[in-house]
Structure 1
Amino acid sequence: MINLFWPIIIVVAANTIYNISAKLTPSEVHPLASLSITYFTAALLSILLFFITSENKNVITEIQKSNWTAVVLGLSIVALEFGYIYIYRVGWNVSTGSLVANISLACVLLIVGVFIYKENISFHQILGMVLCAVGLLLVTK
């Protein structure tokens, strides 16, 4: 059972720290300057963890196996973090900003799953999406 949930626990814990950090980013600093420090830290940590966890210690060989998705993921992460910093700078509370963004994301990904990946959608999922929409209306009022 723990094999199923440990990644969820990491995501929830990291996202909690992430949102608190985004909210506490000083308003005097340009968000992209702050993100430069963020990505320098992330790059160092990623390289260190690669060498700790990989049997093949040749990082160049591993990078060569990658494709366009790594670049697009990088672009989307910068946009995501830039957006989160501004969610809080324009006045969203930490209790609602992330909630609205993540519920909206869940609804969009449900639609993406159905139309792009041909995933099945159940009545319960449709009902859940409707409840999410109602919840978004209630939370943002």
Structure 2
Amino acid sequence: MINLFWPIIIVVIANTLYNISAKLIPAEVHPLASLSITYFTAAVLSIILFFITSENKNVITEIQKANWTAAALGFSIVGLEFGYIYIYRVGWNISTGSLVANISLACVLLIVGVFVYKENISLHQIFGMALCIIGLLLVTK
């Protein structure tokens, strides 16, 4: 059972730290200057963790195996983090800003899963999405 949930636990802990950090970025600093420090830190940590966890210690060989998705992920992460910084700068509370963003994301990904990846959708999922939309309406009123 732990094999199923340890990645979820990491995501929840990291996302909690992420949102607290995004909210606490000083208003005086330009968001992209702050993100430059963020990505430098992430790059250094990624390289260190690569050497700790990889059997093949040739990082250049591994980078050469990557495709366009690595760059696309980079673009999406910058947009995600820039958006989160501004969620808090425009006045969203930490308790609702992330909630609204993540519930909206879950609904969009359900639709993407059905139409792009031909995943099956159950009546429970449709009902859950409807509850999410009702929840969004209640939370944002």
TM range (shorter): over 0.9
Structure 2 partner of 1:121: 121
Distance 1:98 1:70 in 2: 25
1:1-141 paired onto structure 2 within 5 Å: 1-141=1-141
RMSD, matched Cα: 0.2
**Which secondary structure does the structure 2 equivalent of 1:121 belong to?**
coil
Give the superposition deviation at 1:126.
0.3
Letter in 1 for 2:45: L
Report how many residues are paired: 141
Give the superposition deviation at 1:12.
0.2
Distance 2:15 2:57 in 1: 29
Distance 1:80 1:3 in 2: 28
Give the superposition deviation at 1:61.
0.2
**Which secondary structure does the structure 2 equivalent of 1:82 belong to?**
helix
1:103-134 per-residue CA deviation (whole Å, 9 max, x = no partner) reads: 00000000000000000000000000000000
Unaligned runs of 5+ in 2: none
Distance 1:88 1:118 in 2: 35
Unaligned runs of 5+ in 1: none
Provide runs of 4+ in structure 1 moved above 2 Å: none
**Which secondary structure does the structure 1 equivalent of 2:57 belong to?**
coil
TM-score calculated relative to the size of structure 1: 1.00
Distance 2:55 2:121 in 1: 40
Distance 2:122 2:135 in 1: 20
User: Kindly, what percent of the aligned residue pairs are identical?
Assistant: 87
**Which secondary structure does the structure 2 equivalent of 1:55 belong to?**
coil
Give the superposition deviation at 1:17.
0.3
